[in-house]
Amino acid sequence: MTFFMNSGICGIRRCFGLTPSPAKESSETDGEDRLGLTGEPDGEADGDSKADTPEIPTSVDNTPQCLNKALEGLSSRWRNWWIRGILSFTMISGFFLIIYLGPVMLIIVVMTVQIKCFQEIITIGYRVYHSYDLPWFRTLSWYFLICVNYFFYGETVADYFGVLVQKEEPLQFLVRYHRFISFTLYLAGFCMFVLSLVKKHYRLQFYMFAWTHVTLLIVVTQSHLVIQNLFEGMIWFIVPISIVICNDIMAYLFGFFFGRTPLIKLSPKKTWEGFIGGFLSTVVFGFIFAYLLAQYQYFVCPVEYDSETNRFAVECQPSELFVMQEYRLPAALQNVLRWVMKMYPFQIHSVALSTFASLIGPFGGFFASGFKRAFKIKDFANTIPGHGGIMDRFDCQYLMATFVHVYIASFIRGPNPSKVLQQVLVLQPEQQLSIFNTLRSHLQDKGILPPPRPEAQ
Amino acid sequence: MTVDLVQISNCVTRKPIPGLDTYCPSQRDPHRNNFCFHHIYILQILGSWTQMFQIMTYWSIRRPLLKCITDAYSFNFITFYIMFGGFFLCTSVIYKNDRFLPPLQVLCVQIKCFHEIITIGYSVYHSYHLPWFRTLSWYFLLCVNYFFYGETVTDYFFTLVQREEPLRILSKYHRFISFALYLTGFCMFVLSLVKKHYRLQFYMFGWTHVTLLIIVTQSHLIIHNLFEGMIWFIVPISCVICNDIMAYMFGFFFGRTPLIKLSPKKTWEGFIGGFFATVVFGILLSYVMAGYRCFVCPVEFNSDSNSFTVDCEPSELFQLQDYSLPAALESLTGWVRVRMYPFQIHSIALSAFASIVGPFGGFFASGFKRAFKIKDFANTIPGHGGIMDRFDCQYLMATFVNVYIASFIRGPNPTKVIQQLMALRLDQQLHIFNSLKAHLTEKGLLPANEEVA
């Protein structure tokens, strides 16, 4: 993540920003076919002097007064260190507090983060394309966000709250025609876009349209994957996020103390020592953390909606993943150590998750760094003092969320039972009966149900 | 494409042959299978020869055609649709069971559209000299197609997949494999970022992804519609084509009031005339098609004979029913009742969508061409531009039909539900069994004295 880049650069101010040029009419007015925002192949540092990104006003300092006072005496480098440290600690504690408050709070937090990330990226798009003066566009971007969120949340609600939905009549109608309603809403936005095309600003408008859609694709789909992971069991939410945070911090620390060989031209502050040290320490951390969390039902059980008490319940019989088992060490080690390892199978999965977070996760960070360099911004926003925007902190998480979701779907669980039940309840009665009979004979074969009595009809 | 005399003689002597029943006159007459007679074989030969002839003619006269007919827009317009219609008819309709090529055709169109849009992106951003980018764009196309085709294959060819061991493993870990492939592309992109070209590269990355989103997802929706029954593939596409042609005709003869600043040639008269003409055409076409089982039945893959079959009991949508006309129409036409298929009512909805919302897809493409100052997407078809020019309205239509089917026509596929049930754990199966039993008992479908587990 950009943790490293920022702290390294804090003393150095790379002058990416060019002096903002006077507001230039968009390139449609000149008869050329070329896009005014193209980086000339031979231009200086990926820039052009025509249309450029004004520097984000970084002089706005969000640091609270009390912190400023407490750190007056230190030099600016250490001061920044402390600010970042304190904020990191605050964020991590906040994270644990929210976990304690339960799944509902987590979902709300995920939603809030998603909206904030979306807003940050869209704001950058406006700034890049000077399209603030196209008023429809802000409305349309937010409208598309609402549509896509409606679609995804509707699917989630229909899956996980099946029983509740069956009870309420308007909800049932909404669920049955959910796709159609979502599609209609999206189409309305699409038609509004087409009707809002203004003669001189076609290209800008198409760019903003595409920008909005790519942002939606990245931000919204993956926040919903996060929520689906959450419903699988809070451990599938907490452990990946903690692993990514740990990898960040560990790679930074290793790089700070031992760093020597640069890793990639894109992020000059990253080093191979940090990378490898981060990898090993993350695997160990993940292993231990998974062991700690797998003992509690609160984390391990899928989140269910209890329709009687109208609450979320996290109680269940833990699956075999979370039941301590004995593993024999491979023969070579066995002669040396003669231990019998008792651990949860989940810890082995956590090794896979840690490996991914350490090896592939940083690519998300490089992507975000490249993005910031391409559009000449230092940070996505200024929400968190010393750290930049929310997007800065969450850029690595997105790849991780998708990976965990795919991992669960491929290796851990089969289809979601409540979703299957949903589908069965929507079928025609004759089909339901035939499924019922098939299922009954299957269960009788397996011995779960008593065999049919001789006088069966 | 062989003619099997034994099969023809079997048809004539009314011996039912598995997989070929469609082509034999059935005992039940309301579904006029007269067209699907043993003459079909002769038509097949004719069809394939015509098809080859068309392709050869097209490629040989393409260049001189381009030179001399670039002005006569209307001539090209009609010729294109005749050509397309012929091609389409020959390859989609008159086919022997074991070959089912429309998905391949859709794939070809998709690849060509993708290629056209990406080429525009290259020329806009002058990024031809970033060689990685062409590779990466095609690689992403491959990944996304692999993902979608894998899902389709797993759904529709379930028994075949379960039999073959490598296919079974591929389908079990399909999402993981697709994600790993995509991630590789993503990492290659990040590693390929070059210092002076960041912005260009990000633009091309975004451009590629939006194009994939628009084109690939919707071509797969088309294929899903196709598997639902060929009528769900043919009727929407024909409605859009008809709307195009009719709106053009009405605009040509009666056009006066401009419709939208974006496309100055479109007129309100064309729009409204096209709307009514399309609705009527939709009703007639669906009436003609709903009689034949080969169009109406879902396409199934028969794992015993390793071929596609379109044989089934048509659902109530495709059975003639009596409707009494509302009083207004009754006084107008003098008919009291009318016999039609319920599907025709759905076709009105499809035609209405194609006429009213479909053009927005066309306006979107026009706006896109103006924004990037291109006259046509490409020069593939002389006088018409690229494939994308002709298919721009189809995409919205494909998504609409898919959503329409999912919402109003069919529920989930029972076979698929059973598969998912069998994949669950035993305790989850028991839980579902009990919930289902409670539900069915409540509805009165099960006697109340069933044994409790």
- Helix H or strand E encompassing A436: helix A429-446
B116-126 pLDDT per residue, tens: 788 777 777 76
CB pairs under 8 A between A and B: 212
pLDDT band at B60 (very low <50, low <70, confident <90, very high): low
* Token representation of residue B87: 């091609």
Quick check: B210 and A45 CB within 8 A?
no
Q: Does B194 touch chain A (CB under 8 A)?
A: no
- Rg of chain B over Cα atoms, rounded to whole angstroms, equals 25
How are beta strands B300-302 and A311-313 bridged, if at all? Answer: unpaired
pLDDT computed for residue B33 by the predictor: 43
Under an 8 A CB cutoff, do A194 and B364 touch? yes
* Nearest by CB: A210 against B206, B260, B396: B206
Task: Find which of B416, B417, B426, B440 to mutate to test the A interface (most A CBs within 10 Å of its CB).
Answer: B417
- Give the amino acid at B373: K
**Paired residues of B307 in beta bridges:** B302
Residue from the list B183, B195, B406 with its beta carbon closest to the beta carbon of A265: B195
R_g of chain A, CA atoms, integer Å: 26
DSSP-assigned states of every residue in A190-244:
HHHHHHT--GGGHHHHHHHHHHHHHHIIIIIHHHHHHHHHHHH-THHHHHHHHHH
Most confident of A12-26, A107-121, A390-404: A107-121
- Whether the per-residue pLDDT at B46 is higher than 50: the answer is yes
Round to whole Å and give the CA distance between B317 and B346: 9
Task: Taking residues B147-176, report their average pLDDT.
Answer: 79
Q: Nearest CA of chain B to the CA of A277: how many Å?
A: 21
Distance between CA atoms of residues B278 and B288, nearest Å: 15
Candidates B114, B91, B321, B349; CA nearest to B239 is B349
Distance from CA of A309 to the nearest CA of B (A): 18
Q: Give the Cα separation of A141 and A157 in Å (integer).
A: 24
What does the alpha-carbon distance between residue B423 and residue A414 come to, in Å, rounded to a whole number? 6
Nearest to A35 among B125, B196, B406 (CB): B125
Instruction: Report long-range pairs for A123-126 (Cβ below 8 Å, ≥24 apart).
Output: A123/A381, A124/A375, A124/A377, A124/A380, A125/A207, A125/A208, A125/A211, A125/A212, A125/A215, A126/A208
A414 interaction partners in chain B (CB closer than 8 Å): 420, 423-425
Name which of B142, B209, B208 is nearest B177 in CA terms: B142
| Residues of A (98-157) whose Cβ lies below 8 Å from B | none
DSSP three-state, residue A305: strand
Weakest-pLDDT range from A83-97, B21-35, B85-99: B21-35
The values of phi and psi at residue B25, to 5°, are: -60, 125
Alpha carbons A181 and B399: distance in angstroms, whole number:
13
Contact call for A194 and B363, based on CB within 8 A = yes
Cβ A367–B190 below 8 Å, yes or no?
Answer: yes
A282 contacts: CB under 8 Å, gap ≥ 6: A243, A246, A247, A250, A354, A357, A358
Q: Which residues pair with B323 in a beta bridge?
A: B338
- Name the amino acid, one letter, at A336: V
What's the rounded Cα separation, in Å, for the pair A24 and A130?
A: 9
Q: Do the beta carbons of residue A244 and residue A361 sit within 8 Å?
A: yes
Residues of A whose CB is below 8 A from B435: 421
Q: Which residues of B touch A374 (CB under 8 A)?
A: 198-199, 201-202
A423 and B193 within 8 Å at the Cβ level: the answer is: no
Is the Cβ pair B433, A432 closer than 8 Å? Answer: no
Q: Using CB atoms and an 8 Å cut-off, which of residues 229-248 of chain A contact chain B?
A: none
- Cβ distance A373 to B198 less than 8 Å, yes or no, reads yes
Q: What is the mean pLDDT of chain A?
A: 74
And the tokens for A24?
């230039």
pLDDT of residue B303: 65
> Helix count (H) and strand count (E) of chain A?
19, 6
Output the pLDDT for position B279: 94
CA–CA min distance A38, chain B (Å): 6
Handedness of CA B104, B108, B111, B114 (dihedral sign): negative
Nearest chain A residue (CA) to B130? A41
Chain A contact for B199, CB < 8 A?
A: yes
Do A402 and B424 lie within an 8 Å CB cutoff?
A: no
Give A-chain residues touching B411 at CB under 8 angstroms: 423, 426-428
Q: What is the mean pLDDT of residues A259-276?
A: 85
A433–B429 CB contact, under 8 Å: no
Q: Please name every residue paired with B194 in a beta bridge, in sequence order, or none if there are none.
A: none
What integer best gives the mean pLDDT of chain B? Answer: 73
Q: Is A421 on the interface with B (CB under 8 A)?
A: yes
Q: Pairing relation of β-strands A304-306 and A311-313? A: antiparallel
Indicate the DSSP class of residue A321.
Answer: G
The number of beta carbons lying within 10 Å of the beta carbon of residue B41 is: 20
pLDDT of residue A69: 65
Pick the residue from chain B with its C-alpha nearest to A175.
B407
Contacts of B238 (CB under 8 A, 6+ apart): B281, B282, B285
Q: How far is A52 from chain B (nearest CA, A)?
A: 12
DSSP B352-396: HHHHHTHHHHHHHHHHHHHHTT-SSS-SSBTTTB-HHHHHHHHHH
- Give the tokens for residue A409: 């779907």
Q: Taking residues A198-204, what's their average pLDDT?
A: 81
The answer to whether B11 touches B38, Cβ cutoff 8 Å, is yes
How far is the alpha carbon of B423 from chain A, nearest alpha carbon, in Å? 6
Mean pLDDT lowest among A184-198, A239-253, A286-300, B97-111 = B97-111
Question: Cβ contact (<8 Å) for B424 and A399?
Answer: no
Question: Please, what sign has the CA dihedral across residues B209, B212, B214, B217?
Answer: negative
Which of B244, B243, B251 is closest to B275 using CA atoms? B243
Confidence of residue A9 (pLDDT cuts 50, 70, 90): very low
Q: Which two tokens stand for residue B15?
A: 């011996």
Residue linked to tokens 């907490």: A238
**Residue A79: its pLDDT value, please?**
73
The answer to whether A126 and A132 are in contact (CB under 8 A) is: yes
B193-215 tens-digit pLDDT: 888 888 888 888 888 888 888 88
Residues 23-62 of A with CB under 8 A from B: 28, 33-35, 37-39, 41, 43, 45-46
- Nearest CB among A403, A415, A453 relative to B420 is that of A415
Q: What is the pLDDT of residue B429?
A: 80
ipTM of the complex: 0.75
Which residues in chain B are contacts of A213 at CB distance < 8 A? 210, 213
Per-window interface: A 258-277 vs B, CB < 8 A: 264-266
pTM of the model: 0.74
What is the structure's pLDDT at A68? 63
Contact call for B209 and A205, based on CB within 8 A: no
Cα separation of B341 and A362, whole Å?
59
Helices of type H across A32-161: 65-70, 76-101, 103-129, 135-160
Phi, psi of A132 (to 5 degrees): -60, -25
CB-nearest partner of A191 from B209, B360, B429: B360
**Closest to B388 (Cα-Cα) out of B109, B73, B72, B88:** B109
Q: Which of residues 290-329 of B touch A (CB under 8 A)?
A: none
Paired tokens of B282: 């939709």
| Helices A390-407, A2-9: inter-axial angle, 10-degree rounding | 160
Residues B325-342 pLDDT 10s: 777 777 777 777 788 888
Phi-psi region at A52: left, alpha or beta (left = phi > 0; alpha = psi -120 to 50): beta
Residues A142, A381, A227: CA angle, nearest 5 degrees: 55
Query: How far lies B406's CA from each of A177, B112, B331, B411, in Å?
Result: 9, 28, 37, 7
Q: How far is A419 from chain B (nearest CA, A)?
A: 10
Q: Determine, for residues A420 and B195 on separate chains, whether the beta-carbon distance falls below 8 Å.
A: no
Q: Which two tokens stand for residue A380?
A: 């996505």
Mutate which: A165, A172, A183, vs B, most B CBs within 10 A: A183
For residue range B358-406, list pLDDT tens digits in order. 888 888 888 888 887 777 666 655 555 566 666 777 778 888 998 898 8
Across the interface, do A443 and B424 touch by the CB < 8 Å criterion?
no
Q: How far is B87 from chain A (nearest CA, A)?
A: 32
* Contacting B residues, span 163-182, partner chain A, CB-CB under 8 Å: 172-173, 175-176, 179
List, in sequence order, every beta strand (DSSP E) within A215-323. Answer: 262-264, 267-271, 304-306, 311-313
Question: In Å, what is the CA distance from B271 to each residue of A192, B44, B61, B247, B264?
Answer: 18, 38, 34, 6, 13
- Among B154, B155, B177, B198, most A C-beta atoms within 10 A, so best to mutate, is B198
Residue A289: predicted pLDDT = 92
